[in-house]
Structure 1
């Protein structure tokens, strides 16, 4: 569990060896290739499991720096 200004999140680190699929990071919109270490995060509320997303670790840590409506560029 992680507490952030935008709420409480369940966060799981993946070392990459168990990951075979490619995912798209919502923070940078770049691909996370299968086998690459990354994390999975979802809000800690009822139904939050439906919002589970795969993130680059750095993108997750910096996601609040972008602020609402701000582009990554």
Structure 2
């Protein structure tokens, strides 16, 4: 018997499939999380190669983060000026540079 390519997810009580566990924003933009470095808490947002459309200067190595290169955007999670100011001050790092910082 030929193999079926039909998606097999969890079935709901009504017979349909449960898509509640899929968050499109999380799938396309990565998983935002917090990390602590030297007593400061940072929010780290992975940026996929497909979503990297601009170039930035990495504060870790001083080299350019080119468009199409996977990297991370980092900002303070506990800014005294508020979330909007912290997000405006975010920096784009090479993933490796952030890991060794």
Normalised by the length of structure 1, the TM-score is 0.77
Matches within 5 A, 1:25-36: 25-36=58-69
* Bigger mean CA offset, 28-37 vs 45-54: 45-54
Q: Is the aligned partner of 1:16 residue 2:49?
A: yes
Larger Rg: 2
CA RMSD after TM alignment: 1.1
Give the unaligned 5+ runs of structure 1.
64-73
Q: Name the one with the larger strand percent.
A: 1
Normalised by the length of structure 2, the TM-score is 0.58
**Consecutive aligned runs of 4 or more in structure 1 exceeding 4 Å deviation:** none
Q: Report the Cα offset of residue 15 of structure 1.
A: 1.3
Give the unaligned 5+ runs of structure 2.
1-33
Higher relative contact order (CA 8 A, sep 6+): 1
Matches within 5 A, 1:33-72: 33-44=66-77, 45=79, 46=82, 47-63=85-101
* Residues matched between the structures, number: 63
